[in-house]
Amino acid sequence: MAVMRDLKPKTTQIPKPQSESSSIIRDKFSGIETHPVVDALYFCIVTMCTIGYGDIAPTTTFTKIFACVFVLFGFGFIDILLSGVVNFVLDLQENMILTGIQMGQAQAQAQAHSHRFSARDYIVDVAKGRMRIRLKVGLALGVVVLSIGMGALVLCFVENLNWIDSIYLSVMSVTTVGYGDRAFKTVQGRLFAAVWLLFSTLAVARAFMYLAEARVDKRHRRIIKWVLDRDITVQDLLAANINDHGFISKSEYVIHKLKEMGKIGEKDILQICNQFSKLDQNHSGKITLPDLMENRL
């Protein structure tokens, strides 16, 4: 009895064709794909903020050249644009605080016969008419902590990372370190990162700038205190005696102290003297109303 075998030809499984947009991205960039538009926006923001996770990277010659040009021009553009926005927000906060303090200033002045240190003195520098640098540093650091917290929450609940990895990636992102061992992989996470990274990285940069400004301001105040407290010496008399008439006038003393404080230099004084000489055409050592009228004509 013959055994008949049903020989069926083996059919090879043809892979499903991919969409054109997905194949274009896959051919020119390497990394995990979520959505073409979201991935493109996410790549641009990560590049402009100089984070460089490495989860999406160019692979062809054209895309590499484009990335070089884009990061050079895009970073400068976004820095100018968003720095103006951050400055506007911080200035608005400062004006609101100053306005609120000035509204209660009248009541405080009624009880200011015996002046005592108050919270207003800690917040506002009355002599300079602006907020103290320590409060600016506090506000900027508060924004940084808020940005890190928001990023950690999204990474934990959207990207399904544990709390340590969420805080770790959030800090590495806002400080533009971006080791690349962790990154955003979902559509929702990359959409959030596109907005969050823009403002959080600039907020961190602004906080560091205020910290540096606070250190410089503290150093300047220490120098000013030393200059004003020390006694004048014979060397100071000879250095401040600009006109060589054997004594120091009030204007010479002021100029000498300002030079010691580092607020003006010899170049600044010479420029002011040259401007004065142009206005004082009669070389009388003073500027009169006829001199001003003659210069206007």
Q: Which pLDDT tens digit goes with each residue over 166-186?
A: 999 999 999 988 888 889 999
Q: What pLDDT is attached to residue 44?
A: 87
Q: Pairing between strand 29-31 and 56-58?
A: antiparallel
29's enclosing H/E stretch is strand 29-31
Q: What is the pLDDT of residues 231-262, one digit of tens each?
A: 888 888 888 877 777 788 888 888 888 888 88
Q: What is the pLDDT of residues 138-148, one digit of tens each?
A: 777 888 899 99
Q: Report whether 217 contacts 188 (CB < 8 A).
A: no
- Cα(first)–Cα(last) distance of the chain, in Å? 129
172-176, Cβ contacts within 8 angstroms, sequence gap of 24 or more: 173/51, 173/197, 173/200, 173/201, 174/144, 174/147, 174/148, 174/200, 174/201, 174/203, 174/204, 175/201, 175/204, 176/49, 176/50, 176/51, 176/201, 176/204
| The one-letter amino acid at 141 | L
Q: Does residue 13 have a pLDDT over 50?
A: no
- CATH code: domain 21-102+124-224 is 1.10.287.70
The residue behind tokens 């990636």 is: 169
Q: Does residue 58 have a pLDDT over 50?
A: yes
Q: What pLDDT is attached to residue 115?
A: 47
Q: What pLDDT is attached to residue 154?
A: 94
Average of per-residue pLDDT values in the chain: 76
Residue 130 φ then ψ, to 5°: -150, 170
Q: How far is CA 88 from CA 73, 210, 214, 263, in A?
A: 23, 15, 20, 28
Confidence of residue 22 (pLDDT cuts 50, 70, 90): very low
Residue 241 CB coordination number (10 Å): 15
Q: What pLDDT is attached to residue 297?
A: 61
Q: Pairing between strand 29-31 and 130-131?
A: unpaired
Q: How far is the C-alpha of 105 from the C-alpha of 128, rounded, in Å?
A: 16
Q: What is the pLDDT of residues 212-232, one digit of tens each?
A: 888 888 888 888 888 888 888
**Looking at 22-31, 101-110, 138-147, 279-288, which range is the least confident one?**
101-110
More confident residue, 280 or 92: 280
Q: Report whether 50 contacts 75 (CB < 8 A).
A: yes
Per the document, the length of the chain is: 297
- Specify which residues 125 forms β-bridges with: 130
Q: How far is the C-alpha of 238 from the C-alpha of 233, rounded, in Å?
A: 9
Q: What pLDDT is attached to residue 6?
A: 47
More confident residue, 116 or 246: 246
More confident residue, 3 or 236: 236
93 burial type by CB count under 10 A (0-12 exposed, 13-18 middle, 19+ buried) = middle
Minimal CA–CA distance to 36: which of 12, 48, 19, 14? Answer: 19
Residue 125 φ then ψ, to 5°: -90, 100
Q: Report whether 124 contacts 146 (CB < 8 A).
A: no
Mean pLDDT score, 127-135: 61
Domain ranges of the chain: 21-102+124-224, 234-296
Per cent of the chain over pLDDT 90 is: 15
**Whole-prediction pTM:** 0.63
Q: What pLDDT is attached to residue 156?
A: 94
